[in-house]
């Protein structure tokens, strides 16, 4: 554990050099390379540069030679990432044309959509998207499309979509770090055929064939688990199960990684020795088999890391030399980053190396301090949780209190029970299919019951600590706290010190919560839910979280073959994710302005996953059909249902939201929208829902002196709303229009945009600029930013 202090620059490297020989050199060179690549390619370059300079200064105090090596490694890494292995496209702008290249990954079929990656002869990689037109075409493509085929495709190059909400998954950046700069949208059917198949293509095709065989002949969930653990393919696993594994901190068990490689390679090595092969021949066989196994499991960063570390150990044994685990992981890290610097920003790479690194650094301390297997397992689990905590919280915003206990059970359960059963089941099916029921039945039973328990724990939302997306300062503070706890843990002679990591994480959660209560700033965020509305209002000092509408996507009727496994849902994929990112633990009120699905549909994905204190509707909100089911679901979760009408007031702390409409029933559902006015940050806001011209006229008749500073334009900028008379009367400074990009209705209408421009109103559109976030403090607007 003392080595952890070195990583956080809290001690010199002298002790590490004495204990681990040259491993310290590779250790510091690897850190220098990571910091240099982070500085040249990543965000927060100032922090990476500061850490790199601090590391070099620290080394120069003890060994000038090591400091020079670290600087040379850093310079080489920067030059390599920027010039030797540049990540840029040969295409300067999008265009339509014919492209020819080879399929380099497993084609993915999801309903009527097909996606795969194609590498052109010039070396450029394209993400191909194809819309399947009928079921016969899908069957034909599924039977003939394989990895390694050379395809000729006529299509349109498009830029990958940028992040359009503040906490959304950045698909554009994800593709960029894989060296993909363009989407290729096919415009006609394409032709493919075998031309030149390399050994790697044949291995990928063998993997694809076996994955399909397992999917066809094994029942779920056994087929999904076998493909995940044997072939590193988990795309077919139920999304809720995947979410449960992720939330409970055991998603790493579904990836082929160090434990899996150890079990597989260790078993083969033991078997070879038991069969009488001499040691050198078995080692040579392992050196051949490991690269093949890496390819057969998809070559994810975690399996490449584990495989290369195993290779380094076997190569050292073959040449009768020794290599420490720290040497091995450091050399592996540097080798992978020299080959592909952008791997540093792959989440699997980060977690795999960081967790393994921490475990290796702490293993001497754990072996010395704890004798029993259970205490060692608890200690290793705690170290892994500490190592992954900052990354998990930064990317997923939540941390489950059950993560420690679930890991304690599932690490040995998956590694020593499920993993061997999966391999046995696969080889039995391959060699002795008549014995398969005797193997698959216990595997099926174990997985069904374990999945039930996982889902039960996953749905206990009170066990999750919601941090929201932490700031860089909070992450730095967290790392310092982790180093301090490690130091205290090592120095303490009490066995109970093993609970230090759990106590630290809970303490950090309360620190983050207290920061929210001290924050004097509030926010109004117009979320980009496509063609719909959803507005999140966060009042200062956590006086209230109010959600006005929840978005919604009205699905079109599709045939069974067209339905996607996990179709886009604005409530789940946008609103709920943004609530988590902002650290919202409870909604004080959800206001459904009216009955249209693009305003209320998302609530079904929020109710039951986040506490809602009050659900507010108008007296003219119809409680029938799907709306009735939605209301019943909210009532079961303890939500109070309230109706409001004109002249009512909603109070949250010191803030008041005045209900301006509806005063009486209008001729349309849009006209019955709940309209709210509130003073936030010294400015008067008007939230109009889908209020039309009739509702606007009614407002002007009842409120003759209605002066508004910021207007949420009614009905997504439709020409049936935001009339010229209305704009002239209320005199807004800015208008926010929530509309879907390239929507079928043509919102916002050009007439509305002209009306607003004519009155010199600033326009912010979610279809063009993504989500709009307005921060206010006291009696002024602090800033306005967009997600584009």
Q: Report domain extents, the chain.
A: 2-84, 96-197, 212-463, 480-517, 519-555+566-786
Helices and strands of the chain, counted as H and E runs: 28, 24
The per-residue pLDDT for 4 is 36
Which residues neighbour 539 within 8 Å (Cβ) at sequence distance 6 or greater? Answer: 522, 545, 546, 652, 653, 655
The per-residue pLDDT for 7 is 34
Cβ atoms of 678 and 656 closer than 8 Å: yes
Q: What percent of the chain stands above pLDDT 70?
A: 97
Q: How confident is the model at residue 3 (pLDDT cuts 50, 70, 90)?
A: very low
Strand order through the sheet with 535-538 = 640-643, 614-617, 589-591, 545-548, 535-538, 521-526, 772-777, 780-786
What secondary structure, in 3-state letters, does 273-313 show? HHCCCCHHHHHHHHHHHHHHHHHHCCCCHHHHHHHHHHHHH
Distance of CA 721 to the CA centre of its chain: 38
The per-residue pLDDT for 496 is 72
pLDDT over threshold 60, residue 13: no
Higher pLDDT: 246 or 613? It is: 613
What is residue 632's three-state secondary structure?
helix
E strand or H helix at 460: none
Cβ atoms of 680 and 524 closer than 8 Å: yes
Give the whole-angstrom CA distance, residue 37 versus residue 339: 12
Burial class (CB in 10 A: 0-12, 13-18, 19+), 704: exposed
What is residue 614's three-state secondary structure?
strand
pLDDT over threshold 80, residue 715: yes
Share the mean pLDDT of the chain.
89
What is the mean pLDDT of the segment spanning 306-310? 89
What is the mean pLDDT of the segment spanning 154-178? 93
pLDDT over threshold 60, residue 15: no
What is the mean pLDDT of the segment spanning 152-180? 93
**At residue 786, what are phi and psi to the nearest 5 degrees?**
-120, 160
Q: For residue 109, list its beta bridge partners.
A: 114
pLDDT one-digit tens code per residue, 278-304: 888 888 888 888 898 888 888 888 889
The per-residue pLDDT for 24 is 53
- Find the range with the poorest average confidence among 386-400, 485-499, 513-527, 746-760: 485-499
pLDDT one-digit tens code per residue, 547-604: 999 999 877 788 889 888 888 899 999 999 999 999 999 999 999 999 999 999 999 9
Cβ atoms of 148 and 103 closer than 8 Å: yes
Burial class (CB in 10 A: 0-12, 13-18, 19+), 768: middle
pLDDT over threshold 60, residue 530: yes
**At residue 473, what are phi and psi to the nearest 5 degrees?**
-65, -40
Q: How confident is the model at residue 188 (pLDDT cuts 50, 70, 90)?
A: confident
What is the mean pLDDT of the segment spanning 138-144? 91
The per-residue pLDDT for 475 is 92
Cβ atoms of 534 and 574 closer than 8 Å: yes
pLDDT over threshold 70, residue 481: yes
Give the whole-angstrom CA distance, residue 1 versus residue 24: 14
In 3D space, the residue among 666, 649, 603 whose CA is nearest the CA of residue 629 turns out to be: 603
Tell me which of 3.40.50.10320, 3.40.50.150, 3.60.15.10, 3.40.350.10 is the CATH number of domain 519-555+566-786. 3.60.15.10
* Token representation of residue 14: 């002298």
DSSP for 127-168, please give it. EEEEE--SHHHHHHHHHH--TT-EEEEEEEEEPPPPP-STTS
What is the mean pLDDT of the segment spanning 445-458? 92
* Token representation of residue 251: 């998603």
In 3D space, the residue among 704, 775, 777, 204 whose CA is nearest the CA of residue 537 turns out to be: 775
Q: For residue 98, list its beta bridge partners.
A: 154
The per-residue pLDDT for 170 is 92
Radius of gyration over every alpha carbon of the chain, rounded to an integer in angstroms? 29
- Find the range with the poorest average confidence among 209-213, 266-270, 303-307, 657-661: 266-270
Is 96-197 a domain of CATH 3.40.50.1110?
Answer: no
Query: How many residues are listed for the chain in this entry?
Result: 788
pLDDT one-digit tens code per residue, 645-656: 999 999 998 999
The per-residue pLDDT for 147 is 92
pLDDT one-digit tens code per residue, 33-60: 999 999 999 888 999 999 999 989 988 8
Cβ atoms of 675 and 712 closer than 8 Å: no
What is the mean pLDDT of the segment spanning 481-490? 88
The per-residue pLDDT for 2 is 40
Work out the angle at residue 352's Cα, subtended by the Cα atoms of residues 348 and 356, and round it to the nearest 5 degrees: 170
* Token representation of residue 775: 């921060």
Q: How confident is the model at residue 11 (pLDDT cuts 50, 70, 90)?
A: very low
**At residue 347, what are phi and psi to the nearest 5 degrees?**
-60, -40
The per-residue pLDDT for 601 is 92
Q: How confident is the model at residue 64 (pLDDT cuts 50, 70, 90)?
A: confident
Give the whole-angstrom CA distance, residue 25 versus residue 534: 53
Give the whole-angstrom CA distance, residue 774 versus residue 328: 49
Work out the angle at residue 378's Cα, subtended by the Cα atoms of residues 373 and 382, and round it to the nearest 5 degrees: 145
What is the mean pLDDT of the segment spanning 262-268? 80
Highest mean pLDDT among 116-130, 377-391, 479-493: 116-130
């Amino acid at each position: 554990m003392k080595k952890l202090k070195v990583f956080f620059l809290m001690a010199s490297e002298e002790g590490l050099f004495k204990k681990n020989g040259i491993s310290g050199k590779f250790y510091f060179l690897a850190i220098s390379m990571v910091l240099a690549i982070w500085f040249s390619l990543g965000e927060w370059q100032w922090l990476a540069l500061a850490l790199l300079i601090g590391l070099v200064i620290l080394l120069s105090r003890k060994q000038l030679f090591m400091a020079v090596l670290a600087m040379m490694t850093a310079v080489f890494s920067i030059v390599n990432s920027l010039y030797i292995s540049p990540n840029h496209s040969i295409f300067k702008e999008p265009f339509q044309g014919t492209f020819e290249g080879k399929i380099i990954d497993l084609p993915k079929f999801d309903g009527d959509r097909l996606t795969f990656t194609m590498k052109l002869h010039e070396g450029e990689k394209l993400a191909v998207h194809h819309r399947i037109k009928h079921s016969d075409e899908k069957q034909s493509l599924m039977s003939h499309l394989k990895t390694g085929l050379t395809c000729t495709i006529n299509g349109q190059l498009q830029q990958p979509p940028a992040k359009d909400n503040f906490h959304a998954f950045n698909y554009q950046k994800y593709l960029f770090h894989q060296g993909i700069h363009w989407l290729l949208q096919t415009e006609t059917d394409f032709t493919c055929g075998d031309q030149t198949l390399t050994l790697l293509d044949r291995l990928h095709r063998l993997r694809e064939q076996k994955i399909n065989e397992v999917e066809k002949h094994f029942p779920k969930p056994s087929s999904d688990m076998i493909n995940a653990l044997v072939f590193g393919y988990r795309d077919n696993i139920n999304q809720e199960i995947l979410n449960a594994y992720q939330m409970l901190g055991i998603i790493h068990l579904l990836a082929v990684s160090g434990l899996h490689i150890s079990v597989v390679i260790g078993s083969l090595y033991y078997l070879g020795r038991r069969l009488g092969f001499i040691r050198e021949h078995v080692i040579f066989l392992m050196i051949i088999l490991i690269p093949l196994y890496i390819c057969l499991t998809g070559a994810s960063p975690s399996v490449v890391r584990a495989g290369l570390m195993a290779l380094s150990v076997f190569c050292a044994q073959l040449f009768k030399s020794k290599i420490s685990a720290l040497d091995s992981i450091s050399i592996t890290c540097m080798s992978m980053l020299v080959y592909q610097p952008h791997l540093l920003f792959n989440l699997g790479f980060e977690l795999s190396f960081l967790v393994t690194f921490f475990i290796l650094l702490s293993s001497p301390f754990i072996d010395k301090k704890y004798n029993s297997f259970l205490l060692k397992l608890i200690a290793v689990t705690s170290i892994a949780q500490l190592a992954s905590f900052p990354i998990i919280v930064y990317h997923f915003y939540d941390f489950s209190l059950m993560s420690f206990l679930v890991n304690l059970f599932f690490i040995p359960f998956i590694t020593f029970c499920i993993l061997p059963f999966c391999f046995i089941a696969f080889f039995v099916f391959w060699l002795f299919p008549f014995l398969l029921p005797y193997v698959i039945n216990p595997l099926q039973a174990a997985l069904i019951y374990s999945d039930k328990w996982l889902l039960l724990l996953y749905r206990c939302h009170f066990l999750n600590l919601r941090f929201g997306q932490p700031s860089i300062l909070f992450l730095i503070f967290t790392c310092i706290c982790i180093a301090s706890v490690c130091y205290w843990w090592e120095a303490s002679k009490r066995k109970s010190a093993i609970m230090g990591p759990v106590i630290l994480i809970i303490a950090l959660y309360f620190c983050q919560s207290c920061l929210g209560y001290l924050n004097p700033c509030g926010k109004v965020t117009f979320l980009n839910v496509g063609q719909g509305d959803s507005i999140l209002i966060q009042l200062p000092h956590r006086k209230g979280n109010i959600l006005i509408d929840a978005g919604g996507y009205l699905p079109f009727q599709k045939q069974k073959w067209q339905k996607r496994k996990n179709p886009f849902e604005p409530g789940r994929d946008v609103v709920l994710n943004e609530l988590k990112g902002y650290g919202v633990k409870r909604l004080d009120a959800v206001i459904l302005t009216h009955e249209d699905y693009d305003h209320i549909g998302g609530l079904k994905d929020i109710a039951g996953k986040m506490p809602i204190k009050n659900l507010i509707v108008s007296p003219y909100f119809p409680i029938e059909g799907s709306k009735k089911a939605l209301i019943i679901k909210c009532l079961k979760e303890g939500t109070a249902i309230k109706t409001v009408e004109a002249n009512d007031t909603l109070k949250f702390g010191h803030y008041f939201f005045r209900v301006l409409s509806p005063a009486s029933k209008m001729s349309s559902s849009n006209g019955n929208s709940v309209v709210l006015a509130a003073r936030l940050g010294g400015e008067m806001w008007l939230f109009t829902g889908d209020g039309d011209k009739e509702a606007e006229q009614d407002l002007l008749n009842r409120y003759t002196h209605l002066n508004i500073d910021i207007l949420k334009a009614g009905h997504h900028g439709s020409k049936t709303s935001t009339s010229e008379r209305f704009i002239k009367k209320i005199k807004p400074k800015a208008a926010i229009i929530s509309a879907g990009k390239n929507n079928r209705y043509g919102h916002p209408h050009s007439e509305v945009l002209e009306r607003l421009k004519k009155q010199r109103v600033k326009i912010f559109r979610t279809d063009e600029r993504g989500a709009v976030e307005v921060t206010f403090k006291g009696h002024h607007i602090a800033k306005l930013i967009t997600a584009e």
